[in-house]
């Protein structure tokens, strides 16, 4: 079985190797050929800047993502309304889970770099409370941290009292953030993250007057059906 080894090199070379391997296996893959949600968005086939590869850093990131995924799945299990799977955005490179109120939202203004506005407006066509983990990078300040935001953000959302104590509202981002280090070093990291997810969602849902009694349930066990 052929593989593409991971190591230092250019994105262009890696891109060509992956597509070549897929073609050999009989898979025709159509891609836009450029990254989303970052600036600048150099096309993969043209990005010939030499880049390093840190296998230990990649392993630590994988561990953080798996730990976050475990708690996100538990958090997801306490919602009966429409809720996304725990999913990974390759553009912004964050792991996320989103709850929906079921009510339409005003059209999103768009403007996210290298992401069509129609895609953004479809994603935010209904009210959401969304949370995730962002490891940082892509030239943006901050990170790694957990985040939670609402669209549209109800009045008073940024001033809401949330937990744990290390959580704060970032005015520039328009969302609550909790540094990864604060979770990692907490006596009970899972509990610290879960209370952040829960209290920020509750702030959004209460201020926006979601029908919480119809949308919520007791936490379940991920991938285990409830008894009816």
Q: Please give the torsion angle defined by the CA atoms of residues 167, 113, 68 and 178, in that order, rounded to the nearest 10 degrees.
A: -10
The total of other beta-carbon atoms located within 10 Å of residue 182's CB is: 19
Confidence check: pLDDT of 30 > 80: yes
Task: State the chain's mean pLDDT as an integer.
Answer: 94
Joined together, the tokens standing for residue 176 give 């609550």
Positions of E strands within the chain = 87-89, 94-104, 126-134, 145-151, 168-170, 175-179
pLDDT, tens digit, 9 for 90 and up, residues 156-172? 999 999 999 999 999 99
Confidence check: pLDDT of 142 > 80: no
Looking at residues 171-179, what average pLDDT do you find?
A: 95
Task: List the beta bridge partners of residue 141.
Answer: none
| Crossing angle of the two packed helices 55-76 and 189-207, in degrees rounded to 10 | 50
Q: State the Rg of the chain over Cα.
A: 19
Q: What are phi and psi of 166, to 5 degrees?
A: -75, -15
Instruction: Give the DSSP letter string of 158-218.
Output: GG---SSTT-EEETTTTEEEEEHHHHHTSSSHHHHHHHHHHHHHHHHHHHTT--HHHHB--
pLDDT, tens digit, 9 for 90 and up, residues 189-227? 999 999 999 999 999 999 999 999 999 999 988 888 887
Q: What are phi and psi of 116, to 5 degrees?
A: -55, 135
Residue 227, pLDDT score: 79
Looking at residues 102-114, what average pLDDT do you find?
A: 94
Confidence bin at 87 (pLDDT 50/70/90): very high
Between CA 89 and CA 65 the distance in angstroms is: 12
Residue 138, pLDDT score: 59
């Amino acid at each position: 079985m052929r593989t593409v080894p991971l190591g230092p090199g250019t994105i262009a070379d890696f891109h060509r190797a992956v597509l070549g391997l897929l073609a050999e296996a009989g898979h025709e893959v159509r891609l836009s050929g450029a990254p989303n949600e970052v600036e600048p968005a150099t096309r993969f086939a043209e990005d010939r800047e030499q880049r390093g590869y840190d296998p230990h850093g990649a392993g630590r990131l994988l561990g953080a993502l798996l730990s976050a995924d475990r708690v996100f799945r538990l958090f997801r299990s306490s919602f009966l309304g429409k809720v996304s799977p725990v999913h990974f955005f390759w553009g912004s490179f964050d792991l996320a889970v989103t709850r929906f109120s079921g009510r339409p939202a005003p059209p999103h203004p768009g403007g996210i770099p290298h992401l069509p506005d129609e895609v953004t407006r479809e994603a935010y066509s209904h009210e959401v409370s969304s949370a995730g983990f962002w490891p940082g990078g892509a030239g943006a300040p901050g990170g790694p941290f957990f985040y939670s935001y609402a669209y549209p953000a109800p009045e008073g959302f940024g001033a809401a009292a949330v937990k744990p104590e290390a959580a704060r509202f970032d005015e520039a981002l328009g969302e609550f953030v909790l540094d990864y280090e604060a979770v990692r070093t907490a006596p009970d990291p899972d509990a610290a993250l879960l209370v952040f997810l829960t209290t920020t969602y509750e702030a959004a849902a209460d201020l926006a007057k979601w029908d919480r009694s119809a949308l919520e349930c007791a936490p379940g066990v991920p991938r285990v059906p409830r008894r009816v």
